Chains A and B, each alone.
Chain A
Amino acid sequence: MPHVPYNPKLLSAIVDRINVGVFVVDRDMHVLVWNYFMESHSGRPAEKVVGHDLFEAFPELPKKWLERKIRSVFILRNFAFTSWEHRPYLFRFRHNRPITGGADYMHQSCTFQPILAQNGEVEAVCVSIFDVTDTSMYHNRLQATLAELREMSFCDELTGLFNRRHIEHHLQREFHRFKRYGSALSLLMFDVDEFKAINDIHGHLVGDEILREVAKRAQSCVRGTDFVGRYGGEEFVVVLTNTRCKGAMVLAERIRVAIGSTPVECDQAKVPVTVSVGVAEAEAAAMQRHEALIQCADTALYESKRAGKNCVTIYDEHPNAANG
């Protein structure tokens, strides 16, 4: 390999031209070095910046925070770092996505490095600025996708309520709590009356609109601690924690009235909609698993249907259903 003699000029030329922002400040925050990356992104040539106070040259910098950061390097003789995740940028530099966009300014992660004098004291601090705009955009896209997936795995697409899987999981958890601590737990199950006929007469789009409206009205009746979910088709459930049968009955009646009292307006039609509700309270002796509670609410719902619909029935312990 040919021998290349060490050339300090070459090194400084590289530092100047490297695709990383490099600048150096002394104890008085005067700029000592300002490389080409800093020149071209800030639009200020080195001769206009070097020798000047950094914060006077760039009044838009977050002075309090940045000065503290630089001071800590002088005091502690230690590296310091900043990440775009906490502060997206230090300087308002334009990013390399003038066409594809997606960010306001170049996102930057910075390293603050002590430059030691002969006596071991820190005489200056070198700041390196890395352009991490692309990384941050990929990161944000990933986070958005994960959030979307999380929502999709929890929610029913049509109504925005919790989906069956999630509501069952929640009920299971609450049932365990009930078993362990004995706090009250009730379950409502309700079903849109004559939904098949509505679909046949008005079409599926109206049917979908009605499900959305039913979900909305039910959701508006419950407390923040109650979980409403779409159990399937036109069937919904509400998990009521710390609620006894009597309280659940009051809520069930409120939901029934909220849905049945005003017809649902859709596609120029006013469609009267009613629901039948079944109410059941968890009982330690009779129920081993959460499925038993669902079964009881379902039985009560069936009773409401049999009694003529648009009404609420509380599960009444039946000799055959008592074994959970």
Chain B
Amino acid sequence: MNSTATNLVETYQFDDDEQDALREVVNIAMGRAGASLAQILDTFVRLSVPFVHIAGVTEVSGAIGDMLGQETNVIAVRQAFYNSLRGEAIIIFDRKGSRALAGLMGYDKRTDGYIEQEVLLDVSNVLVGACLGGIADQFDMQLSYYAPAIMFEGGSVDDLLKEDRVPWTHALLLEIEFEVEGSGINCHMVILTPEESIGLIREQLHTILESI
């Protein structure tokens, strides 16, 4: 990590300008994610206004919990990314929605658990790739991805992150909600990047702010 990044990480929180710029970057990326998803699902996809926040480790699982309410039957997919930025994206589906998704993707109606999983992984991969790809493009960065995998199935969201087992103290938390119109399908995506990437993002935001 270079020394500029280290210094920037000292003050984790973004100021208002940085926050605005980041929200704008994410909005553009989200538009692209929505368009990509609409393209493979052949239907309209509604996106929430993204929530962007630097969160301490204790806040993150609480924030995810708040976002989902008391959902207890969820499937979570995890996908890691690396290269200029490092982090993990977690996409949370409720079980009912995940079945509807398989139908929408043109898989036949038989409720094969493996097909359902494959669809969830495909959709997650599209969302993560489009959203992060959109952010990376604007920052002129390269990103690579690991294969998505089912992280967690059929439990409560409280079990998603175990505070004592994560190696970071602060992370950039990006929350987005997708809803496939008229299908009852909605999912939540959380993108988390640890401290070192926050510094890099801040540098890129300054480059953008200076160019306006």
Contact = CB atoms under 8 A, between A and B. Distances in A.
A111 B125 CA distance: 12
Contacts of B40: 72, 75-76
Contacts of B133: 77-78
The interface centre, meaning the residue of B36, B126, B129, B130 with most chain A CB atoms within 10 A of its CB, is B129
Contacts of B39: 75-76
B117 A85 contact: yes
A80 B3 CA distance: 35
B147 A78 contact: no
A81 B148 contact: yes
Contacts of A109: 147
B121 interface: yes
Which secondary structure characterizes the binding site on chain B?
A: helix
B125 A87 contact: no
Contact of B126 (A76, A82, A83, A85): A76
A83 B133 CA distance: 22
B147 A72 contact: no
A123 B148 CA distance: 24
Given A83-B121, A83-B147, A109-B147, A78 B36 contact: yes
A86 B129 CA distance: 20
B114 A72 contact: no
Contacts of A91: none
B125 A86 contact: no
B121 A81 contact: yes
Interface of A: 72, 75-83, 85-87, 109, 111
14 contacts: A72-B126, A76-B39, A76-B40, A76-B129, A78-B126, A79-B125, A79-B129, A79-B144, A80-B122, A81-B125, A81-B147, A81-B148, A82-B118, A83-B147
Interface of B: 36, 39-40, 114-115, 117-118, 121-122, 125-126, 129-130, 133, 144-145, 147-149
Given A76-B126, A76-B130, A81-B125, 17 more contacts: A72-B126, A75-B36, A78-B126, A78-B129, A78-B133, A79-B145, A80-B122, A81-B121, A81-B147, A81-B148, A82-B118, A83-B121, A83-B149, A85-B114, A85-B117, A86-B115, A86-B117
